[in-house]
Amino acid sequence: MELTILILLIVTVIVLIINTVTTRHTITELRSDIDRLENITREEFDTSRRDRSNAESQQRLENNELFRMLGEQLGRNVDALAQSQKIQLQLFSTRLKELQELSKTKMEEIRHLVDDKLKQTLETRFNESFKLISERLEQVYKGLGEMHGLAEGVGDLKRVLSNVKTRGNMGEVELGNILQQILSPEQYVENACVEQDSQRRVEFAVKLPGADPDGRPVLLPIDSKFPIEDYQRLLDAYDNGGDIEKEGAKFEASVRRCATEINSKYIIPPATTDFAIMFVPTEGLYAEILRRTGLFESLRRDYKITVTGPANLAAFLSSLQMGFRTLAIEKRSSEVWKLLSQVKTEFTTFGDILDKTRKKLNEAANVIDSAGVRSRAIERRLRDVEDSPFMGKLE
């Protein structure tokens, strides 16, 4: 507002100046007007200053009142917010207590449920475990009983094997089983007499093709030996670090004694072969004989004795069986040739009969062909009769 008044005053001054230039005679009036305008302007400035001062005072009063009212309103709002927060806090506390009580109740229920389930599961597992342990203990007791029985059986077996006669019978039974499985009863003899008018009898003898001067088959003696005492002492020396060389020498001497006995009793050519078989009933005993350097070869060379165990005796008898079959085939070869000659003669006769049959068939074919020719001639005659004028007149 003051700026507008100032602008109006300036414009008025400018107008007055222009009028002064144009009309010099109005200078005095103009000065008076200027003084008057100056007074008026000064008064206006004073009035404007007073009004502005009053307005500012009024504005300050209004602002103070507004700030007072705003402070009061803010205080009321803060009090209301505090009261609301207090109420919310009380509600939250109450709800939290309720949740705590509910959680406590639920946790107690869950704990009881878990305890029940755990107790039930543990009881079941414990019962199953105790049952399994009882079964295992029962099996252990049963196994201990079986082991006790086995130990008694081993003791009985040791007592049996300590008897030379019983030990020999065991080897003889095993040898008989092997022969029975591979050879037919006609191919071997049990308790065979190796010499006529003598009481020398070998446990088993295989009948070989051929005959001695008396017409009897040549026999291959097979006798079982079981030098268990010296062999067991040698095994103990291996296990316990004893004098292996000394026990090995005793074992070899025992084997040589068995070979000497078989050689002197059962090798009697030409009733028997010039060698014999010594059967040992265990593979371990046979392997130990093979392990002793030069023992197996010495028995074959010096005593004409071949040592066999259960496995290689079966292989040896199988090879003999194949040899028997080959000889049987050679023996029957002449009969086969005779049969083939007879078949050849019959086949020649059969060929002659076939030739005669072919001739007869050819003659029959020729007769059939002639009959066909005559049949066609008759047909032509019949067609000529059908085409004759006489048949036309009859129609």
- DSSP H or E segment with residue 221: strand 217-224
Helices 310-331 & 164-182 angle (0-180, nearest 10) = 40
> Cα-atom radius of gyration of the chain, to the nearest Å?
72
Q: What is the per-residue pLDDT across 136-183, written as a single tens digit (0 to 9) for each?
A: 777 877 776 676 666 555 444 444 444 444 455 677 888 888 888 888
Q: Could you tell me if residue 319 is inside a domain?
A: yes
Q: What is the pLDDT of residues 269-295, one digit of tens each?
A: 888 888 899 998 888 888 888 888 888
Query: 186 is in which domain, residue-wise?
Result: 164-336
Residue with tokens 């504005």: 59
Measure Cα distances from 246 to 227, 230, 238, 249, 280 in Å: 16, 11, 12, 5, 22
Taking residue 20's Cβ as centre, other Cβ atoms within 10 Å add up to 17
* 163's tokens: 């008897």
The enclosing H or E element of 76 equals helix 27-162
What pLDDT was estimated at residue 210? 64
Within a domain: residue 256? yes
Q: Does residue 51 belong to any structural domain of this protein?
A: no
**Can you tell me whether residue 188 is helix, strand or coil?**
strand
Residue 151 lies in a domain: no
User: Does residue 277 lie within any of the structural domains?
Assistant: yes
Check: CB of residue 56 under 8 Å from CB of residue 35: no
| Amino acid identity, position 155 | G
Q: How many angstroms separate the CA atoms of 306 and 274, rounded?
A: 11
Q: How confident is the model at residue 51 (pLDDT cuts 50, 70, 90)?
A: confident
CA distance 260 to 298: 12
Look up tokens 């059969």; give the residue: 350
Please write the tens of the pLDDT for every residue from 59-97: 888 888 888 888 888 888 888 888 888 888 888 788 888
Above 60 in pLDDT, residue 389?
A: no
Q: Are the beta carbons of 219 and 211 closer than 8 angstroms?
A: no
pLDDT digits (tens, 9 = 90+) for 236-274: 888 887 788 888 888 899 999 999 998 888 888 888 888
Residues 6+ apart with CB under 8 A from 250: 230, 233, 234
pTM listed for this prediction: 0.45
- Backbone φ and ψ for 221, nearest 5 degrees, come out as -70, 140
* Residue 168 belongs to a domain: yes
Residue 230 lies in a domain: yes
Q: Quick check: 203 and 230 in contact, CB under 8 A? A: no
Structural domain tally of the chain? Answer: 1
